[in-house]
Amino acid sequence: PPRSTLFPYTTLFRSLKDKFDANEYKLASKTPVSMKHGSIFHIAEKDNVLHGYSDIEWKVVEPVISAAHKVFKRMLEDIRTNTSKHPYGKQTAHVRRSSNLANEEIDFLTKRTPKVKQKLEKLLGISLDQNEVPRIAVCMSGGGMRAATAAEGLFEGLDSIGLLDAITYAAGLSGSTWTLASFVELGFPMDKYSEHFVQALSKAHVFSPADLAHVLWPKYVFDQHTSIVDLYGVFLAHTFFHNISANNSGRQNIRLSDSQRHLTDGNSFLPIYTSIEIKGTDTHWATFTPYEFGIDDFNMYIPIWALGRKFKEGTSTNFAPEQTLGFLMGIWGSAGSGSVNNLLGTQKDSISKPLFKALSDIFIETHEIGKHTSELQSLQVISYA
C-alpha cells in the first residue's frame, strides 16, 4: 500500500476494537508474530483490513505487488477493449417509453401474417381474408425439466397436426423457456430437435472453469453484478446447446438477439420469455424478446442487447456486451431451485476438486435462496437484480 495509508499509532489504537463479531474475525488479517523478523514493522490498511509488514516485506514485497497490480489493471483494460468489440459495441441504447409494440415486432407481424394465412388455409381447407387471420399464441408453464419436456412434447404435437407453423407467438417461463429458446435459436426441423433434446437431457454436459471465466470477466470489467445465476446459465447453455462446439466457449457466446435472424422473413413464431421482478411486496412481470427487454407495468423498454448496461436519464452510459442467452435462461429458470446441487451430486467425479469445492461453497451459501424459490413453484420463476 502507499505510505499514505500508514496509521499514526494513536489513531490505530483508537480504531482497534475490543471485540469482533464472527464475520469481522474471519476477515481479520492474522499472522503469528514469530513469523515476522526485524525491529521495524509497518501497519497499513489494504482492502479495508489492517495488515502487518516487516521492514523487508514493506520495502521489497509490496512494491512488487503494486507492480503486479498495474499489470492486472492493464489486463482488465485489454479485456474491456476486446469485450467492447461486438455488434453494438459503439451503439448507445435509449429507453423506449410507450405502450405500443416495438417497430421490429410490428415489422415481424407484417411478414408473419401472410405465412400464417397460407398455413391455416391449407390446414383447414378454407380461404381467409387478410384481415381475418387469427394470431394464435401458445403459453407454456414452468416446472424445471418437467416443463421443458412438456414444452418439447407440445411442439411435437403441434407439428404433427400442422399447427406449429401457424402460430404467431409462443410464451414461456421457467423450464419451458429452455426448450423455447433452444428450439428457436437452433432452428432445427422438429424431428431433429427432438433428437437434440433427448441428448441434452440424457447426457452429462459439464463445463470448464475457462467457460465460467469467459462469462464472468466481461461482467467484472464492466462492474456488473454476478451471482449463482451466472453459474447456472453456463450449465444450461452447455446442456441445451451441446451440439455447438465447446472450443472458444462457443456455447457461451450465444445471445438472444441472434434469434432475430429467424424472424426477419416471418418464418418463425416470435418467442416471449418472462420473469418476475420482486422488490419487497411489489412484483412486476418482465418480458424478454429477441428485440427488447421491458416491464409492461412501467411501459419502459430497452433493446435486448443493452440489458445489463447502466443508464442515466434514459441513455446508456457504457458499451457493455449483451448478456449471454445461457445467463438469461438462468434468470428465467429459477436458478436457486437446487439444480446446481443436482449437478454436483451427479457430476462429482467429472469436476476438478478446486472447481467442485467452489461450486459446493456457492450452493451452500445460496441454499436459503433455493428454499425461498421452492415456495414460489406456482410461478416457477424469479429474477435476480
Q: What SS3 class is residue 209? A: helix
> Is the pLDDT score of 238 beyond 60?
yes
Over residues 103-127, the pLDDT tens digits come to: 999 999 999 999 999 999 999 999 9
Looking at the whole model, is its pTM more than 0.85?
Answer: no
Query: CA of 300: how far to CAs of 14, 211, 236, 296, in Å?
Result: 51, 33, 29, 7
| pLDDT of res. 281 | 82
> Is the pLDDT score of 6 beyond 50?
no
Place of cell 415489422: 107
> Is the pLDDT score of 303 beyond 70?
yes
| pLDDT of res. 83 | 73
Helices marked H in the chain: 9-15, 22-27, 55-56, 62-83, 103-124, 144-160, 175-186, 190-202, 209-221, 228-240, 325-332, 339-347, 353-365, 367-374
Of 14, 105, 24, give the one whose Cα is nearest residue 290: 105
All 3 cell numbers of residue 167? 402460430
Contact call for residues 172 and 144 (beta carbons, < 8 A): no
pLDDT mean over 201-224: 83
pLDDT mean over 199-221: 83
**Cα–Cα distance for residue pair 316/330, rounded to 1 Å:** 24
**Cα–Cα distance for residue pair 19/217, rounded to 1 Å:** 38
| pLDDT of res. 350 | 55
Of 337 and 147, which is predicted with more confidence? Answer: 147
β-strand 300-303 against 96-97: which pairing, if any?
Answer: antiparallel
Q: What SS3 class is residue 312? A: strand
Mean pLDDT is lowest, of 23-27, 217-221, 234-238, 263-267, for 23-27
pLDDT mean over 231-246: 90
Q: What SS3 class is residue 6? A: strand
| pLDDT of res. 379 | 31
**Cα–Cα distance for residue pair 51/29, rounded to 1 Å:** 6
| pLDDT of res. 9 | 45
| pLDDT of res. 10 | 45
Contact call for residues 197 and 186 (beta carbons, < 8 A): no
Query: CA of 15: how far to CAs of 10, 12, 18, 48, 68, in Å?
Result: 9, 5, 10, 13, 30
| pLDDT of res. 228 | 82
Of 57, 54, 10, 51, give the one whose Cα is nearest residue 27: 51
**Cα–Cα distance for residue pair 182/269, rounded to 1 Å:** 13
> Is the pLDDT score of 342 beyond 70?
no
Of 227 and 265, which is predicted with more confidence? Answer: 265
Over residues 308-319, the pLDDT tens digits come to: 999 999 999 999
> Is the pLDDT score of 300 beyond 90?
yes
SS3 content of the chain, % helix, strand, coil (to 5): 55, 15, 30
Beta bridge partners of 44: 6, 51
pLDDT mean over 26-50: 68
Whole-number average pLDDT of the chain: 80
> Is the pLDDT score of 359 beyond 70?
no
Of 159 and 370, which is predicted with more confidence? Answer: 159
